[in-house]
Amino acid sequence: MNFTDFLQSIIQQVPDERTLWDGRYKIPWDDPDFSRRMLKEHLSQDHDLASRNQKMIMSQVKWIHEQICHASPARLLDIGCGPGLYVEQFVQIGYECCGIDFSPASIEYAQSRLSNEARFVEGDIRVVDFPTDNDLAMMVFGELNVFSPDECRRILKKAYSALVNSGKLLLEVHTFDSIQRLGNAPSSWYKSGAGLTGLFSDQPHICLIENHWIDTQQTALQKFHIIDAASGDVESYRSTTKAWTDDEYRELLSEAGFADVTVYPDWPVHSDDLMLFSAGKL
């Protein structure tokens, strides 16, 4: 799209709540170039915006090992594992691990470090088969919220099937208020540069960010418009994030077959915008 057409579209367009979950509603984590740029941010120790820093990951792994697994190494499935930063810590204390992610650069990195110690699968967790007979499955850092309601239900049912009887799911999710704040945040922009400001392109560009809260769908919609500085061409991306209340999270887990749903206020986390549930397969 050229710049003139883009300006007309951005002025005239109103978000259509009927199409929130249609087409490509996620940032292109699986695009090789985007994946390559994102990997650098996963590994950065300067911020916790892509992956958590190593100190926090180590603290959370220790907490899971002691509080959930009672200091007994288990068979672990990491759903949306990124570059395997959690798996790497679990392997060191004797866990048998499998990680799944659809970012090619992240999976390549994880395999390069742990190919003889853990299994990694490059695939979309919405459709790829999960390995079975796991004692523990985990999906952290609010990953569930970026999927449509129907896909959330399918992912949780797949997680349930991937567990042995008496196995547990750890699900870290965004609070309702945090996603509502995201949708109500003012629109903004930035110019390309190092790190997170260079995620969408290797070339100099301007990024315009629209934020919308769709109250009827309890969903935040972000639009990222990338304007190439040399050509003026525009590429646009969406990021759609579903908000759920605490009771709705419990209902989702119950629908998937889980029982004994628990929230952990002592979960070590850097932000009150995230909370941890556990749920058991009886």
Residues 6+ apart with CB under 8 A from 8: none
Q: What is the SS3 assignment for 97? A: strand
* Residue 241 · residue 146 · CB < 8 Å: yes
pLDDT digits (tens, 9 = 90+) for 238-267: 999 999 999 999 999 999 999 999 999 999
* Residue 238 · residue 253 · CB < 8 Å: no
Q: Is the sign of the CA dihedral 127, 96, 262, 143 positive or negative?
A: negative
Per-residue model confidence (pLDDT) at position 4: 67
Q: What is the SS3 assignment for 260? A: strand
pTM: 0.95
Q: What is the SS3 assignment for 252? A: helix
Please, which pLDDT band fits residue 8 given cuts at 50, 70 and 90? low
- Among candidates 123, 124, 42, 35, which has minimal Cα distance to 83? 42
Question: Minimum mean pLDDT among 9-18, 92-101, 130-139, 244-253: which range?
Answer: 9-18
pLDDT at 89 over 90: yes
Q: How far apart are CA 109 and CA 98, in angstroms?
A: 14
207-212 contacts at long range (C-beta below 8 A, 24 or more positions apart): 208/10, 210/10, 211/182, 211/183, 211/184, 211/185, 211/186, 211/187, 212/15, 212/183
Per-residue model confidence (pLDDT) at position 2: 63
Domains by residue range for the chain, with CATH: 3-30+178-242 (no CATH), 32-175+244-280 (3.40.50.150)
